[in-house]
Amino acid sequence: MNAADRPRAGQDRAHGTAVRPAVMAHMIPWFPDRERSFTIARALLDAGVGYLEVQFPYSDPTADGPAIQKACADALDAGFRVADGFEYLERLRAHRDVPIFLMSYAGLVYRRGVAEFVRRAADHGVTGLIVPDLPPGSDEGLYEAAQRYAISAVPVLVVTARQARIDAVAAVRPAYIYAALRSGITGRRTVIDSDSLAFLDRLRPIGAELMAGFGVQSAEQVQALAGHVETVVVGSAFVRVVEDVLSRRPAEAARHTDTLYEAVHAVARELVGS
Amino acid sequence: MQATHSVYHNYFGQFGGRYVAEVLRTPLDLLEEEFAEAMEDPGFQREFDTIADQFVGRPTPLLYAENTTREIGGAQLYIKMEGLAHTGAHKINNAVGQALLARRMGKTRIIAETGAGQHGVATAAVCAKLGLECRVYMGEIDIRRQKPNVFWMQMYGAEVVPVTSGSRTLKDAVNEALRDWAHSFPETHYVIGSALGPSPYPDMVREFQSVVGRETRQQVEAAGLEVAALVACVGGGSNAIGFFAPYLDQPEPRLVGVEAGGTGDQPGRHAARMGGLGTPGIVQGYKSLFLLDEDGQVQPTHSISAGLDYPGIGPQLASLGASGRVEFRRARDQQALDAVGRFARNEGVVFALESAHGGAAALQLAAELPPHQAVVVNMSGRGDKDLFIMAGELDRRAWREFLLSEGDRL
Ligand SMILES: Cc1ncc(COP(=O)(O)O)c(C=O)c1O
């Protein structure tokens, strides 16, 4: 489904029925290893998530909390390479054709040239790129390259952003905005209150599809955002489900990928609300 | 490129900048403004000078290494005794400057990362003096290597938090501190310990460390020396850039930065980013030369000294290396150890292992240059903290026996 085909959160609200936002599920290839990370992706897709945010693991993920950082370290230990990551995206798309947002850090994106990275992402069918440490204004050509290769570079805005910053980000005319619901790093739970909603409504006039995340873990939080955003991003919550399965039932998890599949699927279904 | 103030560059040639997630934009913007204002404020300068005088123990002496000079028979070798500064290294200059800035901004809490522990000890001491709460992030491996400094930080009332992620050394401590700051900045200032990180840190740390260079310049001029070269070790680059600062805009003297050659040139065995081993990258908020693999993942490093094994170099030094104004050399672990012993026996001075990398290169340079010229090496730190490493190197068996007997006694 394209951004253009999807109903707008604002429009739904006008009809008085706040439609539950789509879920963008975050996952990390090669966490905990190549095959099981594919099992996790299958579980998420089968549960009906609207988008996948695929994070290419990086050695120094400074904007991520302990859960995602450790998962990235495990993925690197399991042998993840950037070239594998792009192949993996193809495999995901063959399983189900949902839009994929590729998230990573400047460290990987800049290494062989930002434009080259963007071109590879476009070649592998990526819908959008999220690179938190290449923000508009310090983006090393990310936004220009994204336009050239017809994919979306997705800027982040934080709930504490000053209006001048919101305006500067609006000026790059983004198709999507990743709205961080609190300052800090990923992983800690966020209370969605009137401040969060007021922030999201301030972003509405930009006309971008809003993806809200940072500390969203429950169906209630997803519901609380209905009518204010098109998409809710859930990240650390899935990493924790996986960690839980691996630690509590290591022998079982090793034998049956089913255990992992079912645990992730159940949590995703609840969030998706299907 | 912004240039709101003569001390604020942001970019140095192609290096530097501020590549951070949105959460860190506000604290860095505010820091940039405050830094620029403070540098123009004579009151701030006076505060800094008073503490430098009474607490840090400035000026630190310039010592003529007479016996070593005679032994070599080349250029006169001088040692800037920065290790005599309070808490044992140049790190205190920057800690004082940033803590004063934090107080000016109304912050009540300080966080810092530390590798060798010298920056942590300096920050902890300054926080004790200024009445600020202090937390120091330190990699688990560095905690083991530099245990004495952990005790000192705790003695000053700081909380030392072990970092168990990644390589469990300095860069991982930086990551942890950045994570803390991303939500704590309303009341917290992050004191980075070297001339790196997102702007304005590289400019700010250079300014606070340039007191070393200014003093040295006065001292060599007063002594009427013809200085051929200034030599400093380079981890992130704060002691080097501070030492070189007054000479950057002129072609002379030679400025020589010395990196950790470790045990060899293979990946993982050294921490030398210059001289072709590093690649341009964006890591921890700034663009510079880093030790990276083909994908851009940060590579493991090695050095006998905990303060030099950081995989990146400060952006201004990377730029000065590219322009040729600063030359870079490497000293291997063993050369640094040898230099510690030689200066101790000849001059009665024990270099920190970090500084001894500079010392080793200075010994070589002095031998290459004529007697009417002088080579000045910055002894950025004294070696007390390295007791546990040095004693083991000197006589492993005797040291082991001593440690075991102490253990029994407890
Ligand atoms: C004594 C000493 N010298 C040098 C360094 C390296 O840092 P820089 O390159 O920033 O001076 C350290 C770092 O911990 C140190 O303790």
Q: Report the distance separating Cα A264 and Cα A266, nearest Å.
A: 5
Q: Which of B180, B202, B224 is the last residue of a domain?
A: B202
Q: Can you give the CATH number for the domain in which A174 is found?
A: 3.20.20.70
Q: 3-state DSSP helix/strand/coil percent for chain A, to nearest 5?
A: 50, 15, 40
Measured at the alpha carbon of residue B387, what is the angle toward residues B383 and B391, in degrees to the nearest 5?
125
Q: Report the distance separating Cα A64 and Cα A180, nearest Å.
A: 12
Residues B179 and B321 in one domain: no
Q: For residue B182, list chain A residues with Cβ-Cβ distance below 8 A.
A: 63, 183-185
Q: Which residue of A has its CA nearest to B165?
A: A70
Does residue B1 fall inside a structural domain? no
The yes-or-no verdict on residue A257 having pLDDT over 90 is: no
Residues B305 and B326 in one domain: yes
- Whether the CB of B359 sits within 6 Å of ligand 1: no
Does residue B408 fall inside a structural domain? no
Residue A97 among the catalytic residues: no
CA neighbours closer than 13 Å in the CB half-sphere of residue A29 = 25
- Whether the CB of B118 sits within 6 Å of ligand 1: yes
Q: Residue A15 — very low, low, confident or very high, per pLDDT cuts 50/70/90?
A: very low
Q: Report the distance separating Cα A212 and Cα B346, nearest Å.
A: 65
What does each C-alpha distance from B167 to A104, B139, B172 come to in angstroms? 20, 8, 7
The yes-or-no verdict on residue A8 having pLDDT over 80 is: no
Residues B147 and B240 in one domain: no
Mean pLDDT (whole number) for A45-62: 96
| Distance from the alpha carbon of residue B239 to the mean position of ligand 1, in angstroms | 6
Instruction: Give me A144's structure tokens.
Output: 């220009």
Position of tokens 């995901």?
A92
The yes-or-no verdict on residue A1 having pLDDT over 50 is: no
- Whether the CB of B307 sits within 6 Å of ligand 1: yes
Query: How many independent structural domains does chain B possess?
Result: 2
Does residue A14 fall inside a structural domain? no
Does residue B42 fall inside a structural domain? yes
CB contact under 8 A, B22 and A180: yes
List the 223-262 stretch of A: residues with Cβ below 8 A of B: none
List the 106-165 stretch of B: residues with Cβ below 8 A of A: 165
**Is the separation of the CB atoms in B279 and B290 below 8 Å?**
yes
Q: Report the distance separating Cα B149 and Cα A219, nearest Å.
A: 48
The yes-or-no verdict on residue A18 having pLDDT over 80 is: no
Does residue A15 fall inside a structural domain? no
Does residue B405 fall inside a structural domain? no
Note down the domain range covering A68. Answer: 3-9+22-272
Residues B170 and B147 in one domain: yes
- Give, as one character, the DSSP assignment of residue B7: T
**Is the separation of the CB atoms in B311 and B271 below 8 Å?**
yes
Which residues 6+ apart lie within 8 Å of B35 measured at CB?
B7, B8, B101, B200, B203, B204
Please tell me whether residue A231 adopts helix, strand or coil conformation.
strand
CB contact under 8 A, B22 and A60: no
The yes-or-no verdict on residue A3 having pLDDT over 90 is: no
Does residue B3 fall inside a structural domain? no
Q: Lay out the sheet containing B76-80: strands in order across.
A: B62-64, B76-80, B374-378, B227-233, B254-262, B326-332
Q: Residue A10 — very low, low, confident or very high, per pLDDT cuts 50/70/90?
A: very low
- Whether the CB of B235 sits within 6 Å of ligand 1: yes
Please report how the helices B315-323 and B201-222 are oriented relative to each other, as an axis angle in degrees rounded to 10. 60
Q: Residue A246 — very low, low, confident or very high, per pLDDT cuts 50/70/90?
A: confident
Instruction: Give me B324's structure tokens.
Output: 């040729």
Please tell me whether residue B261 adopts helix, strand or coil conformation.
strand
Low pLDDT (below 50) residues in chain B? 1-5
CB contact under 8 A, B20 and A135: yes
Nearest to A132 among B21, B165, B281 (CB): B21
* pLDDT at site A252: 62
* pLDDT at site A182: 84
Residues B172 and B280 in one domain: no
Q: Looking at the complex, does the CB of residue B298 fall below 8 Å from at least one CB of chain A? A: yes
Query: How many independent structural domains does chain A possess?
Result: 1
Does residue A16 fall inside a structural domain? no
Which residues 6+ apart lie within 8 Å of B180 measured at CB?
B111, B135, B137, B188, B190
pTM of the model: 0.94
Position of tokens 């970092």?
B163
Residue with more model confidence, A145 or A249 = A145
pLDDT in tens, A140-162: 999 999 999 999 999 999 998 99
* pLDDT at site A250: 61
- Whether the CB of B381 sits within 6 Å of ligand 1: yes
Q: Report the distance separating Cα A37 and Cα A223, nearest Å.
A: 28
Position of tokens 């434009």?
A115
pLDDT cut 70: percent of chain A above it: 89
Q: Residue A248 — very low, low, confident or very high, per pLDDT cuts 50/70/90?
A: confident
Q: Report the distance separating Cα A37 and Cα A156, nearest Å.
A: 26
Catalytic residues of B: 91, 113, 380
Which residues 6+ apart lie within 8 Å of B342 measured at CB?
B68, B363
- Give, as one character, the DSSP assignment of residue A165: H
Measured at the alpha carbon of residue A79, what is the angle toward residues A73 and A84, in degrees to the nearest 5?
110
Q: Looking at the complex, does the CB of residue B198 fall below 8 Å from at least one CB of chain A? A: no
Residues B293 and B237 in one domain: yes
A228 CB-contact burial (10 Å; exposed 0-12 / middle 13-18 / buried 19+)? buried
Position of tokens 């951070």?
B20
- For residue B64, give the H/E element and its range: strand B62-64
Q: Which residue of A has its CA nearest to B299?
A: A59
Residues B388 and B375 in one domain: yes
Q: Looking at the complex, does the CB of residue A179 fall below 8 Å from at least one CB of chain B? A: no
* pLDDT at site A251: 63
- Whether the CB of B355 sits within 6 Å of ligand 1: yes
Nearest to B182 among A108, A112, A184 (CB): A184
What ligand 1 atom has the least distance to the C-alpha of B381?
1
Q: Which residue of A has its CA nearest to B285?
A: A133
Note down the domain range covering B372. Answer: 62-87+210-393
Residues B165 and B292 in one domain: no
**Is the separation of the CB atoms in A214 and A103 below 8 Å?**
no
Residues B81 and B155 in one domain: no
Q: For residue A162, list chain B residues with Cβ-Cβ distance below 8 A.
A: 26
Q: Can you give the CATH number for the domain in which B269 is found?
A: 3.40.50.1100
Does residue A55 fall inside a structural domain? yes
The yes-or-no verdict on residue A256 having pLDDT over 90 is: no
The yes-or-no verdict on residue A253 having pLDDT over 60 is: no
Instruction: Give me B94's structure tokens.
Output: 């920057």
Does residue B226 fall inside a structural domain? yes
Q: For residue A60, list chain B residues with Cβ-Cβ distance below 8 A.
A: 166, 171-172, 175, 283-284, 298
Q: Residue A249 — very low, low, confident or very high, per pLDDT cuts 50/70/90?
A: low
